[in-house]
């Protein structure tokens, strides 16, 4: 047990160091190496935090789906904690992406908020996962709450592709996907490198945050073992042996 904790702490330290390195490299590349956008100018540099935040939100919600399915199959509360930690990270990153997009939109579009399909669907996605996090409070039993949350985690993921493809389906103010697209837009290699390193930094930070959150959740409520399978039905004749008391 102590060895596992020590190994886990060492992994965390390595992850933290890698995150700091990647974040530092991303900051240098985004602020000093990558050129400003020809049309948008300096505000475009917000892309190096806005896009990674959105990416990490997608990744978190995919993790919620996987962990929810795993919990429904195994009934192991460790999967529920993973789903919960990932959902919390996803909600935070979605809120961050919306806030950063709003700050970016002010100088570029001339407004903090526009009724753009990508913006609206992203806010709706945030509401879906806020609902997912709130479902545990419907009752008192943690195991029941975990099952309900897992069910909502599976159903809620339906909206994620809608958010991603909204910029393809509508003519929107929001630019189409630059990377996760079958026909990616051409990008200056220095911009692409800065964006890639920023995505890596966010992903490493996300993994670190989830690992630490999992430890807190595990300390708050110990893992329950997966329920034992139901006994197989009696196949042979039922024999009752009388016990005669002397």
Which chain residues interact with other proteins by CB under 8 A?
72, 121, 124-125, 127-128, 130-131, 134-135, 137-141, 144, 147-148, 150-152, 154-156, 158-159, 162, 169
Q: What's the closest the beta carbon of residue 237 comes to other proteins, in angstroms? A: 16
Q: Quick one: 91 or 194, whose CB is closer to other proteins?
A: 91
Q: What's the closest the beta carbon of residue 94 comes to other proteins, in angstroms? A: 12
Q: What's the closest the beta carbon of residue 73 comes to other proteins, in angstroms? A: 10
Q: Quick one: 90 or 156, whose CB is closer to other proteins?
A: 156
**Angle at which helices 117-134 and 142-156 cross, to 10°:** 160
Q: What's the closest the beta carbon of residue 17 comes to other proteins, in angstroms? A: 39
Q: Quick one: 105 or 153, whose CB is closer to other proteins?
A: 153
Q: What is the DSSP string of 153-208?
A: HHHHTTHHHHHHHHHHHS--SSPPPSSSSSSPPP--HHHHHHHHHHHHHHHHHHHH
Q: What's the closest the beta carbon of residue 199 comes to other proteins, in angstroms? A: 27
Q: How many CA atoms lie within 13 A of 118 on its CB side?
A: 20
Q: What phi, psi does 41 have (nearest 5°)? A: 75, -145
Q: Quick one: 18 or 72, whose CB is closer to other proteins?
A: 72
What is the C-alpha separation between 221 and 178, in angstroms, rounded?
A: 42
Could you tell me what percentage of the chain is helix, strand and coil, using 3-state DSSP and rounding each to the nearest 5?
Answer: 70, 0, 25
Q: Quick one: 153 or 206, whose CB is closer to other proteins?
A: 153
**Angle at which helices 47-74 and 77-109 cross, to 10°:** 160
Contact 12, 194 (CB under 8 A): no
Q: Quick one: 30 or 135, whose CB is closer to other proteins?
A: 135
| 3-class secondary-structure state, position 37 | strand
What is the C-alpha separation between 95 and 31, in angstroms, rounded?
A: 23
Q: What's the closest the beta carbon of residue 87 comes to other proteins, in angstroms? A: 14
Helices then strands, each counted (H, E), the chain: 7, 0
Q: What's the closest the beta carbon of residue 160 comes to other proteins, in angstroms? A: 11
């Amino acid at each position: 047990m102590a060895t596992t904790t020590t190994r886990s702490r060492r992994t965390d330290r390595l992850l933290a160091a890698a995150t700091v390195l990647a974040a530092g490299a991303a900051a240098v590349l985004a602020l000093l190496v990558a050129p400003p956008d020809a049309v948008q100018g300096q505000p475009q540099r917000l892309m190096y935090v806005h896009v990674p935040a959105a990416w990490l939100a997608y990744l978190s919600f995919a993790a919620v789906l996987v962990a929810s399915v795993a919990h429904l199959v195994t009934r192991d509360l460790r999967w529920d904690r993973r789903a919960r930690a990932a959902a919390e990270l996803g909600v935070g990153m979605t809120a961050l992406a919306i806030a950063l997009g709003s700050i970016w939109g002010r100088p570029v579009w001339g407004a903090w908020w526009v009724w753009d399909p990508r913006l609206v669907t992203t806010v709706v996605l945030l509401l879906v996962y806020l609902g997912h996090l709130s479902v545990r409070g419907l009752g008192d039993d943690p195991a029941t709450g975990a099952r309900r949350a897992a069910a909502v985690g599976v159903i809620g993921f339906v909206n994620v592709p809608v958010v991603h493809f909204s910029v393809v389906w509508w003519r929107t103010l929001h630019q189409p996907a630059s990377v996760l697209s079958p026909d990616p837009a051409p990008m200056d290699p220095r911009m692409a490198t800065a964006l890639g390193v920023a995505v890596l930094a966010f992903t490493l930070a996300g993994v670190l945050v989830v690992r630490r959150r999992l430890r807190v959740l595990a300390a708050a409520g110990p893992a329950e073992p997966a329920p034992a399978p139901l006994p197989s039905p009696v196949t042979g004749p039922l024999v009752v042996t009388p016990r005669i008391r002397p």
